[in-house]
Structure 1
Amino acid sequence: MEEKSVQAEVASYTGRLFRDNFGKGPSSVYVSIKHPFITIYLSEFLAPMEKVLIGQRNFMKIEENRDLLMKELLPEIKATLRVTADIHVENIYYDWSLSNRTGILVGVMKEDQEVKEHSEFPDYPHKLEIQDEIIKVSEQAEKVPELVDSLYLNSRTLIIERMGILVEIEKELIRSGFRESLRLSKRRLEKRMLDAKVIETILGTPVIDTFVDWDFDLDKSHIIIILKPKKS
């Protein structure tokens, strides 16, 4: 199947899945594929009941409910990507921007272990500056990551991958069963600390959305920055 056909198939499936399970689907779904990532960006995604909760400024409740539902949906999404698009996803990360009514799903495809251990993402303009800024934010929020790398999927999607960022108190909270509380708190903290104006200055283009999620078991995190494409 051609890439555009795969993207259209995944976008259509995702829209139906979210409509069936959340009561309202996103108005648009944008799919990007560049090994080892597939991203699914949702726009105008907010269920009727969630609008009420936002009016009450009960953002935490929305995220808690979405996390519970996503735990049920992730195995189905993985299986569907494998069967319909021949995309073998190892892990899926996700996050929401409730104020913008957007969301992101990031699938990490399975790789050969030797390739995984010896690969770096290609360079792009200002890559080191972006990664230095992420290191500064990580140091303030947790600690300096053991590894940082980043990849442009396309002109509007930048993914930054971090390894080894959890501090001991966070690891203890995870062992004590406070994963969800830690995840929600870290989302708010890091997105508050990520300065869009600094990113915009480095890359020379406006930031539309910023997302972040973690795999606590692997001590890995992904930051996704959605940019306004530059005019050609």
Structure 2
Amino acid sequence: MEKNSVQAEIASYIGKLLRDNFGKGPSSVYVSLKKPFITIHLRDFLAPMERVLLSQGETMKVEETRDLLMQELIPGIKVTLKVIASLEVKELYYDWSLHNRSGILVGVLENEEDEDNALENYTEKEAVHKDIMRISRQAEKLPEFIDSCFLNERTLLVIRTGILVRIEKELIKTGFEEHLKLTKRQLEKGLLHAGDFENILQKSVVDIFVDWDFKLDKSYIIFILQPNNN
């Protein structure tokens, strides 16, 4: 199957899945495939009940409910991507930008990722890493490993490993994983939005997403950028 057809089929499947489970699907689903990664960008995705909760300041409640539902959906998403697109997804990350009514799913493909090999270079890579390290140090500690690449002109992906501090690991062991995730999401995204990335990249940052796999001590950050008008 051609790449565009695969992407269209994935977009259709994800749109219907979210509509069936959340009561409202996104108005658009943009799929980008650049091995070893697949990203699924959702726009205009906010259910009526969620809109009411947000108006009452219940952001954490919306995020917690979505997290619970996504944990139920992720196994099925992995299976379906294998069936319809022959994509073996070994890790799946997600995050939301509720004020922008947007979201992201990031898949890491099996047998495609070799972390001994650096991702593609780009001009601003060193400066981006420097600011990411500064922010990581503020939020927890310097990552043991960091790399990044552009998946397309609008999507910058950053991977970090070795970022959890001892108290966070203990919270995870004692069953506070969801509370930790909600707190880290709010803290890190605030720091990332206050970062210097627009000056570094010379592009407007439309959205920033971040998610973690606490068992792997690994995190992905996604920047959605406004393309330059040439």
Would you say same fold, with TM above 0.5? yes
For residues 121 and 183 of structure 2, the distance between their equivalents in structure 1, rounded to whole angstroms, comes to 32
Name 1:184's counterpart in structure 2. 182
Task: List 4+ stretches of structure 1 deviating above 2 A.
Answer: none
TM-score (norm 1): 0.97
For residues 62 and 164 of structure 2, the distance between their equivalents in structure 1, rounded to whole angstroms, comes to 25
Name 1:119's counterpart in structure 2. 117
1:173 to 171, 174, 177: 171
**Distance verdict in 2 for CA 1:2–1:111, change over 3 Å:** same
2:223 to 218, 222, 225: 225
Deviation, structure 1 residue 195? 3.5
- Structure 1 position 153 matched with structure 2 position 151: yes
Residues 43 and 102 in structure 1, CA contact (< 8 A), matched pair in contact too:
yes
Code of the aligned partner of 2:167: I
Instruction: Provide the aligned C-alpha RMSD in A.
Output: 1.0
Deviation, structure 1 residue 197? 5.8
Code of the aligned partner of 1:179: E
Q: Deviations over 1:83-128 (max 9, x none)?
A: 000111001000000000000000000126xx62421101011101
Name 1:16's counterpart in structure 2. 16
For residues 60 and 195 of structure 1, the distance between their equivalents in structure 2, rounded to whole angstroms, comes to 19
Q: Which secondary structure state, in structure 2, belongs to the residue aligned with residue 194 of structure 1? A: helix
Residues 31 and 41 in structure 1, CA contact (< 8 A), matched pair in contact too:
yes
For residues 86 and 171 of structure 2, the distance between their equivalents in structure 1, rounded to whole angstroms, comes to 37
For residues 227 and 74 of structure 2, the distance between their equivalents in structure 1, rounded to whole angstroms, comes to 30
Q: Which secondary structure state, in structure 1, belongs to the residue aligned with residue 94 of structure 2? A: strand
1:141 to 118, 132, 139: 139
Residues 7 and 31 in structure 1, CA contact (< 8 A), matched pair in contact too:
yes
For residues 82 and 97 of structure 2, the distance between their equivalents in structure 1, rounded to whole angstroms, comes to 27
- Percentage of pairs with the same residue: 59
Q: Which secondary structure state, in structure 2, belongs to the residue aligned with residue 57 of structure 1? A: coil
For residues 13 and 115 of structure 2, the distance between their equivalents in structure 1, rounded to whole angstroms, comes to 33
Code of the aligned partner of 2:110: K
Deviation, structure 1 residue 79? 0.4
Code of the aligned partner of 2:47: A
For residues 33 and 230 of structure 1, the distance between their equivalents in structure 2, rounded to whole angstroms, comes to 21
Q: Deviations over 1:148-201 (max 9, x none)?
A: 000100000000000000000000000000000000000000000114561010
2:206 to 205, 208, 212: 208
For residues 190 and 68 of structure 2, the distance between their equivalents in structure 1, rounded to whole angstroms, comes to 24
Residues 196 and 207 in structure 1, CA contact (< 8 A), matched pair in contact too:
no
TM-score (norm 2): 0.98
Q: Which secondary structure state, in structure 1, belongs to the residue aligned with residue 210 of structure 2? A: strand
Residues 78 and 89 in structure 1, CA contact (< 8 A), matched pair in contact too:
yes
**Distance verdict in 2 for CA 1:190–1:171, change over 3 Å:** same
Which ranges in structure 1 are unaligned for 5 or more consecutive residues? none
Q: Deviations over 1:10-36 (max 9, x none)?
A: 000000000000000000000001011
For residues 41 and 194 of structure 2, the distance between their equivalents in structure 1, rounded to whole angstroms, comes to 19
Deviation, structure 1 residue 221? 0.2
